[in-house]
Structures are given as C-alpha cells and as structure tokens.
Amino acid sequence: MATRPQTVDMQEAVAIAARQLMSVNVWAGAAYVSFPIFYPSGTSCVVKVEPDGSGFLVSDYGATFREVDHLGLGSGFTKSAKKFADEIGASVRDQEIICHATIDTLAMTMACIAQASSDLAAKMESRAGSSAEQQIQVELISRLERVFGKDAVKPDDPLVGQSAKEWNVDAVVYSGGRQIAFDFVRNNAQSVYAVAAKFHDIRAVERPPLAVAVVESKEALGVYHSLLTQAGRVIEAGQSDETFVRAAA
C-alpha cells in the first residue's frame, strides 16, 4: 500500500532553516552571535555583544586579527582595519573592531561588524597573496608550454559552462583532440569553492574538457582536497612533467 507523502509546511521549514543559519551562545555575561558570513578560511564570522551602559558594545573580539595574523599579516592589521571601521562608524581598539549600539541599532551594527570583518580579512589576504599567486601562475603557464608546446597552450582562454557562463582559467591546453583546463587554486575556502563551482559547470557540457586544479600542496588543503577531487583532477605545482602529462590524458 503506497504511503502518502509527508506534507511540508513551507513557513515552518524556512523558519527552521533560518534559525540554523545563525546561532547565539551566552558566556560570562556576553553573547556570541554566529553569522552566515565567512572568512577566507571558511570559518563563520562571530560577533561579540556585551552590555555597555544603556546600550551595547559590539565587536569581532579580535577574530579578524587572528584570521590574518596566522598568515603573517598581523602587522598591517590596524591600518587596514581603521579604514573599514571608519566606513561603518566603528573603531579599532586592541586589535578588535568595535562599535557602540543602542537597542534600535543593535541588529544593524552586528551585521555591519560581521560583514566588515569578513571583507577586511578577504582583502588583506588577497592583496598579500596576489604577487605570489601571479608568480605561480606565470610559472604554471611556462611549465605547460614546456611540457605540451607553446602553440598548444592558450592562457586565459574562456570556457563556456552548462549555465552558459564564460569561465576564465589560467590556461587551456589543446592536446590529443581535447581541451584540458588548468587552474591554480589557493589554499583557502573561497578559492577552492570558486574553482570547484567553475569546474562542475564546465564539465557539465556535452563534450566537457578535462579540468585540472594545480595546488601548492595537497596535504595543506586538508578537507578541501576532497572537494576539488569531486570537480576535477588535482596535482601539485612542484610535481614532475610526467604528472602533468598524466593529468591531461
């Protein structure tokens, strides 16, 4: 006997999902609110709220500084943070982005602190990594030209995915009658997710190219490595020419 499908109350389902996007933990007189806004590492932004006279003190409680400091960018934090803080009426104190709020402005202030901390970390990490990344990309293209021949390598050759979106990759190699897309992936969540989404789309077409992610270290990627392998092949930039040839086969 067939069972009737369970009826889903959309309003209740959306309400449950919305509650799962955020969480609130109270400890030592302060509330810690987790937002669905993320740092480049993939960690969600958590805002600290504590009483302050008749209002509230909202801060990132130093999380943004810790996010960039582990990459050796801590010395430039205060100068960069002040620019972001000024834009939302906040300030920087003891490596924290802080802002006072009333009960009427509390929600907006919390959201602004979370977004500003995410944007600041992303900008600092992108700026620091851009020169090193550009050098790796230049070396990657030179490596591909040496392995496959200069005429077979087309840097920044766009590929169209199933979504009809044009995607740019570092280089497309034309070998053996097929296309092989090579793209360098940085070791952070934003880069991994972006390349994975790109590869899934370009590989969903009728005659898909091969997709090869080039990373500095598979081991350093941790759990992100499995995400990339679901989207395409993964090799390390320092591996042998034979590895590049096998990845394109």
**132-177 pLDDT, tens digit each:** 667 777 889 999 999 999 999 998 888 999 999 999 899 999 998 8
Mean pLDDT comparison of 4-18, 85-99, 126-140, 219-233, highest-scoring range: 85-99
Can you name the CATH fold of 149-247? Answer: Trna Endonuclease; Chain: A, domain 1 (3.40.1350)
The pLDDT, as a whole number, for residue 3 is: 58
Spans of all domains in the chain = 11-128, 149-247
What pLDDT is recorded for position 211?
A: 95
Whole-angstrom Cα distance, residue 132 to residue 136?
6
pLDDT at 5 over 60: no
Question: Sign of the C-alpha dihedral, residues 119, 65, 43, 115?
Answer: negative
Cβ contact 44:36 at 8 Å: yes
> Concatenated DSSP letters for 119-147?
HHHHHHHHHHHHHHHHHHHHHHHHHHHHH
Residue 96 has pLDDT above 70, yes or no: yes
- What is the C-alpha to C-alpha distance for residues 57 and 99, in angstroms, rounded to an integer? 6
117's tokens: 């901390």
Give the pLDDT confidence score for residue 24 in this predicted structure.
93
